[in-house]
Structures are given as C-alpha cells and as structure tokens.
Structure 1
Amino acid sequence: MKDEELLEEVEAFQKLLIDYSTGGDVEGKEYKRLRRDLLSNPKVKDELPEFIQNCRSLRQFWSFIKSESGNYEGRRRFIWSEFAPVLNKLEGGLESPADDPITEALASLDAGHVDRIWHKALERKEKDPEGAVTAARTLLESVCKTILDEMEIDYDDKADLPKLYHQTADELNLAPGQYSEELFRKILGNCQSVVGTLGAIRNAHSDAHGDGKASYKPASRHAELAVNLAGSMAMFLVRTWENASESA
C-alpha cells in the first residue's frame, strides 16, 4: 500500500471514530476492517493510538470514549490528538522518493520477511540509527538468500554478507570478471565494495555488538545512507533476478 493510500485509510478510520463518538451511524464491520488493516501494517502500527490496540470492537471503543469525555467536542479533540503522530508521520513523507520503487521491487520477491526487514530499516533511521544499520545488513543477506533459494542453489546459511553477495552475483552474472567492458567491470566492482562496506559498518557501528570503553554511535544521516545503499543494492539484485527469470 502506497503512503497516499495509507494516509487516506488512517484518515478514514479517524473520521469513523469521530462520527461514532458524536452520534453517527457506523458499521462495526468497517471498524474491524480498518483496525485489522492498520494494525497489520508495519509503517503505522506503532504510531496508532493505544486504544485501537485495546478496543477490538465498536462496543469496546464506546465504553472507552464515553469515559474519556462526556461531550462531542471533547471526544473530537481527543481523537484528533491521538491520531496526530501517525498522520504527521505519513504527511511528513519520511520515505525518500526512492523508497517506493525499492518497496515495490522487494514485494515482488513474495517474501514477507524481506518486506518486514525493509520497513524496519526505514522506521529506525531517525530514532534508532544503530538498529537501522543492522536492518540494512540483514536486508541484503535476506535478499541474497531468497534469490538463491528461488534459483534452487545451495549456500552456507552461516556465510557472511560479502560471501553471500559474491555467490548471488556470480549466479546472476553480475561479477566484475564476467564482463569485458571496463565501465561495467568498474560499476560492478564498486557494487561489491558497497556491500563489503555495509558489512563492515554493521560490524563496527550497529547494535549487533557490545560497546567498549570508547565507542562510536552512528547518526541518523549515517543510518539513512546505509539503508538507502542497502535498499538500492537489494532492488538491483531483485530486478536482475526477475530479468533472468523472464529470459529463461
């Protein structure tokens, strides 16, 4: 679901709750549908009001909201306030213009765990840079393994990221040595360097390891760079795999 569509769905849920809280006629099925859809979406579930998690039906919501405020205006103001964080997040456009095509490419793998890792990386860029760096590394590892699984090729499940990438690149004809054109050799060689660097950054500056007396913490801009690089490399691998599958 694109951000614009997700924003519309969140706004529809807010409107439904306000209508119901102020005497409007609302269907319980629609409440349950919107609640289910939004709570299952990793982009917004952590930003939704806590009462949505707790109120599984309109009846439960009514018991909650009437105790929160005894008048219509108070209920409106409460619901607006509770929905402000998730609406601000969606309207603020936390994702860069490149995020949507990467999301689309990863979705084509039809591997739910890959999609969850990507969204985890996006969500952590600002508030948890170390976690975002870890997720960026995990994303590439998972994409390599998923592609190799799809191609029915064995690999060492404990292999590090550079080794997994090299094996995947070889199978997809992306290894620099497979090209005679110098420009492509350089580009693909740089891709290998990016992957190796992502692995090194993760090992040194993520939350995957304990800190010593002197430690360095990545800033949100460093996490954003790591996530964007990992996402671009993952998209490149997926698109290459799709092209090879279509040509087979």
Structure 2
Amino acid sequence: MPELSQLEMGAFLKLYNRGGYVLDFSTNDFDVFTMNSVGVAVCEKYGMSKGKSLMAYLNDACPTDKMKLIKDLFDYYEANFDGEYTRREPAYSGEYRFDYNAEYAGYYRKCKEIANRVFGISAPFLQTAKILKDKFSSDYLSAQIDLMIEMQSSNPTEAIGKAKELIESCCKTILDDNHIEWDKNWDVGRLTGETVKCLKLMPADIPDTAPAASEMKALLGNLRAISTNLAALRNPYGSGHGKSASYKGLEERHAKLAVGSSITLVSFLWDTHERRGSDAN
C-alpha cells in the first residue's frame, strides 16, 4: 500500500482535527477508539489534547498502524458526519444532523479521492497484516510486514523480495514449532511444501468424499506455486544485474499482487498452525 504524502496526511488531519478536538470524540471515547483500531490509547500515552496526541502518534507509528488509524477515522467520519459534507433535509422530524459545512465538505472530497486511491481494495490486506503482526511474537516478522507494505510504491522490486521473505520466515517458524528440521539451502518453494505437508494441507489429505473435494484439492495444490512464482517473479528484476537502456522494472501493481498473495498465504498457514495447536490442547 502506498504511503500518504505529507500533503495528503495534512488533508486528513484538517478533516479530523477540530481545534484540538478530534471529530466529536470525548477523550475517553477517543482512547477507546484508537485502542480498538491500533492497540494504543493515544491520549493516555501522550498526555496531550486529542488533536496533538493524534499528530504525535502518527509521527511515531509504523506505516501499517498509521494507515489503519487514518482509514478507521475516515470510515467513522463517513458513517457519522454525512450531514456535514452532503446537503439534504432530515429524514424525519427531530433527526439530529451536523450542519452542512462547505469547508469541511471540500476537505472530505479531497480525502475521499485519496482514500479511493490509497486504501481501495488494499484495505482488507491492511487489516490482515495488522492481525498477523498481533499474532507473531517476533519483532523481526512485524518489521518485515511494515517494510513490505511501505515499499510497494517506493521500491516494488524490494517489496516483492520482502513478500517472499515473509513466507520463508513464517514457514521456518511453523516448522520450528513442530520440531521439524529444515535445511538452510531450501528455497521458498521447498519450505512452503514442507510446511504444507506438516500442516496436512496436501491434496492427498482431503478425502474424495468431502464436499467440494476437487476444488479444495486444486486450491491446496497451488499453495506452493504462490511462493515459487514470487521468487521467479523477482529474480529477473534483481538489482545485481546490468540492465539495458530499454529496461522497465516492476511496478507498484506487481508489488501489490505479490504482497497481497504473500499476506493471504501466510495468514492461511498461520491460522492453520494455530488451529492445530489448539486442537492438540
């Protein structure tokens, strides 16, 4: 997911910050909201006004958490402040509505344009990435996820490399947890294959009598292909080879495809790993 520029971030802050307040939140409600969104009660942490605490958090937060809080606040604004940016009469007598405000309506239109471009279909992956970070008890894996998402726009080739490395790290962790030795010379395809086997996700593990057995077998058979093809995609575009003048590198859209595929695969493998652990207990 591309990061917001300073100007774009400023547009969202103008929409949210109301003279030290943030939208219509009380201090306690805002802390509850941010805790639910990113796991941090920002006013309690920074001890300043809601507006200043929000700005301080956005300056300190990793890209994943920063973008998630911005998006969650935007979703809250759209759900609760529609009267401020749209002109219409109350639907029924006594309905409370924020008065239409041309200035904030302008901020909203600008932010909506940015949100459609930046969040768009990537929003579900952002949420999944946040969940994965919470699940992994590893600062390294959390940092890999942040870096991978941040590099989608700034360095697509490296983002694809990080997507492959995330799969490798996840597979090694699962194999370690199951006391299965892995070889340092295994490529990402072999690591994924051994992990799938360990988790009993091989096509052969699905009974022919199971509902939609053939479709499930086909999907499981393609799990290893995701990681193998990520490695194959990145190799021709590495930085260690001479390039001709007509060379064209990977684009942001390629990185989004790779990152989304990596997050989906890792989430599925890790969820299966956790479920097997809970079933064993």
TM beyond 0.5: yes
- Listed as ranges, the gaps of 5+ residues in structure 2 are 1-8, 21-44, 68-113, 209-213
Contact 1:145-1:164 within 8 A present in 2 as well: yes
2:150 paired residue among 123, 131, 156: 123
One-letter amino acid matched to 1:245: G
1:202 paired residue among 227, 234, 238: 234
For residue 218 of structure 1, report the CA deviation from its aligned partner.
0.8
- Tell me how far apart the structure 2 counterparts of residues 224 and 202 of structure 1 sit (CA, whole Å): 13
C-alpha distance 205-96 of structure 1, shift in aligned 2 (>3 A) = farther
Alignment of 1:110 with 2:141, yes or no, is no
- Tell me how far apart the structure 2 counterparts of residues 137 and 244 of structure 1 sit (CA, whole Å): 24
- Tell me how far apart the structure 1 counterparts of residues 220 and 226 of structure 2 sit (CA, whole Å): 10
CA displacement, residues 78-115 of structure 1 (integer Å, 9 cap, x when unaligned): xxxxxxxxxx78x9537422320242034212222112
For residue 244 of structure 1, report the CA deviation from its aligned partner.
0.6
Q: Kindly, what percent of the aligned residue pairs are identical?
A: 23
- Tell me how far apart the structure 1 counterparts of residues 230 and 192 of structure 2 sit (CA, whole Å): 12
For residue 184 of structure 1, report the CA deviation from its aligned partner.
1.9
Task: Give the secondary-structure state (helix, strand or coil) at the position aligned to 2:184.
Answer: coil
TM-score (norm 2): 0.56
One-letter amino acid matched to 1:109: F
Alignment of 1:42 with 2:62, yes or no, is yes
C-alpha distance 237-134 of structure 1, shift in aligned 2 (>3 A) = same
CA displacement, residues 201-231 of structure 1 (integer Å, 9 cap, x when unaligned): 1222244x33443644111111111110111
- Tell me how far apart the structure 1 counterparts of residues 131 and 65 of structure 2 sit (CA, whole Å): 20
Name the structure 1 match of 2:173: 146
TM-score (norm 1): 0.63
2:218 paired residue among 186, 189, 193: 186
State which drifts further: 179-188 or 159-168.
179-188
- Tell me how far apart the structure 1 counterparts of residues 275 and 161 of structure 2 sit (CA, whole Å): 29
- Listed as ranges, the gaps of 5+ residues in structure 1 are 1-6, 20-27, 48-87
Contact 2:58-2:66 within 8 A present in 1 as well: no
- Tell me how far apart the structure 2 counterparts of residues 166 and 222 of structure 1 sit (CA, whole Å): 24
- Tell me how far apart the structure 2 counterparts of residues 46 and 108 of structure 1 sit (CA, whole Å): 18
In the TM superposition, 1:18-33 aligns within 5 A as 30=47
Contact 1:133-1:227 within 8 A present in 2 as well: yes
In the TM superposition, 1:1-248 aligns within 5 A as 30=47, 38=58, 40-43=60-63, 92-93=118-119, 95-181=122-208, 182-207=214-239, 209-213=240-244, 215-248=247-280
One-letter amino acid matched to 1:119: D
- Tell me how far apart the structure 2 counterparts of residues 159 and 119 of structure 1 sit (CA, whole Å): 25
